[in-house]
Amino acid sequence: YSAYPEDESDVTAWESKSIWAGHELYEKYLGLAREVGVAFVFTFLESNKERIEFYNTAEVIDKKGESILRYRKTHTVDKGWESMFVAGESFDVAELETTNGMIKVGVMICYDREFPEVARLLMLEGAELILTPNACNLEDDRIAQFQTRASENMLAVAMVNYPKPKLNGMSVAFDGMRKKKGEEYNPILVKLGDEEEIAITKIDIEALRAYRGRGILGDTYRRPHLYKKLSENNPKPPFIRKNARR
């Protein structure tokens, strides 16, 4: 992310970097996926062609160069550069083709992962893997929080973050499973440091599906009728913020 400029001419220049489906740069990414035969997520400043509305967007492209999922960051605040964004309103899940079959994927962007509701909704939509582009320093509490999103929903999560000098890296992935009694098991699929790196890891999707079929978390024993207050829009002190969006 760039700092939102204050000068009007700089604002115009910043907004001019936005792209949309069909834009030359957008099509370049689709072509790259086809060329190398690799699925990936790319993030961009999205707008309509008139550059009136702007979104913080992540797009999932499959290995054939087709867009299978577009996610717009849902949790934004009226502060700094983020004040220009329109917040997303949906939590979609798509099937991604891999060499070992299909997997259902969803996306969160940065601050979205701070809200358990986002991962929960994606789980309820069928997600088995949540991909998470990030742009803030990742300390132990945020990494533990991210692992919790995986564990409580019995799904895999993967987060990529900017390394030094921009941020502190610490990109990480968890498989969302718990060990059995007496079993040696590590749910961390990969955890990087603060330097730029490329990592390859594997998700045992069949093991994850078997685990989800016998586990006690996710949507197994929830009692939704007790949670109606979660959807109320009635914040009370100390949680009232002038720059909040609801």
Domain count of the chain?
A: 2
Does the residue 74 lie in any domain? no
Round to whole Å and give the CA distance between 114 and 146: 8
Does residue 75 lie in a domain region?
Answer: no
Considering the chain, what percentage of its residues have pLDDT values greater than 70? Answer: 96
Q: Are residues 104 and 48 in the same domain?
A: no
CATH for 142: 3.60.110.10
Q: In what side-by-side order are the strands of the sheet with 54-61?
A: 40-47, 54-61, 67-72
Query: Do 45 and 98 belong together in one domain?
Result: no
Give 171-181 pLDDT, tens digit per residue. Answer: 999 999 987 76
The amino acid present at 29, given as its one-letter code, is Y
Q: Is residue 85 part of a domain?
A: no
43: its two tokens: 């993030």
Residue 37 is assigned to a structural domain of this protein: yes
Confidence tier at 4 by pLDDT (50, 70, 90): low
Tell whether 80 is covered by a domain: no
Q: Is residue 62 located within the same domain as residue 164?
A: no
**Position 73 in a domain:** no
Query: Which residues, 6+ apart, have CB-to-CB distance to 207 below 8 Å?
Result: 177
Is 7's pLDDT higher than 80?
no
Are 103 and 49 part of one and the same domain? no
Whether residue 195 lies inside any domain: the answer is yes
Question: Same domain for 62 and 131?
Answer: no
Q: Is residue 61 domain-shared with residue 140, that is, in the same domain?
A: no
Residue 5 pLDDT: 59
Claim to verify: residue 46 and residue 102 sit in the same structural domain: no
146 and 24, same domain (yes or no):
no
Residue whose pair of structure tokens reads 């990936």 in the numeric block: 40
How much is the pLDDT for 178?
Answer: 87
Average pLDDT, the chain: 94
Give me the mean pLDDT over the 216-232 stretch.
97
Judged by phi (left if over 0) then psi (alpha if -120 to 50, else beta), residue 25 lies in alpha
Asked if 101 and 54 sit in the same domain, the reply is no
- Model confidence at 1, pLDDT cuts 50, 70, 90, reads very low
| pLDDT band, very low/low/confident/very high, at 144 (cuts 50, 70, 90) | very high
* CA pair distance 128, 105, nearest whole angstrom: 6
pLDDT score of 25:
97
Residue 19 near residue 42 (C-beta atoms within 8 A): no
What is the identity of the amino acid at 97? Answer: E
Does the pLDDT at position 111 exceed 50? yes
119 in the same domain as 24: no
For residue 34, what are the domain limits? 1-66
| 35-75 pLDDT, tens digit each | 999 999 999 999 999 898 999 999 999 999 999 999 999 99
